[in-house]
Amino acid sequence: MAQQQTPRQVAERATKSVEIPRSGPMLLGVFGDRNAPEALVRLPNGRLDTVALGDRVSGRQVVAIADGRIALAQRGKAYWLEQLGGR
């Protein structure tokens, strides 16, 4: 069966361009249920990793996982890492 080309307006609505950071971890998505959420993270070396609460990402501990973002803490300071392209 031959593949048909995606109509232009469908491709435009389904495609979102985002700036990819060149350094640091990048959040690709959050999944799982509320009791055991997980996140898919792209590490600076290009490797993909699935993380849960308490895991480490680039030397920082995952202290929270919410809709479209995770909180990473190091040396008593935490920050939110937002999912690429928004939630």
pLDDT in the model for residue 21: 61
pTM of structure: 0.72
- The DSSP secondary structure of 13-78, one letter per residue, reads HH----PPPSSS-EEEEEES-TTS-EEEEE-TTS-EEEEETT-EETTEEEEEEETTEEEEEETTEE
Q: Could you report the per-residue pLDDT of 16-73, keeping only the tens digit for each? A: 666 666 678 999 999 998 899 999 999 988 899 999 999 999 899 999 999 999 999 9
CA 74 – CA 55 distance, rounded (Å):
12
15, pLDDT greater than 90: no
Assigned CATH for 21-82: 2.30.30.830
CA 37 – CA 64 distance, rounded (Å):
9
pLDDT in the model for residue 38: 97
pLDDT in the model for residue 13: 76
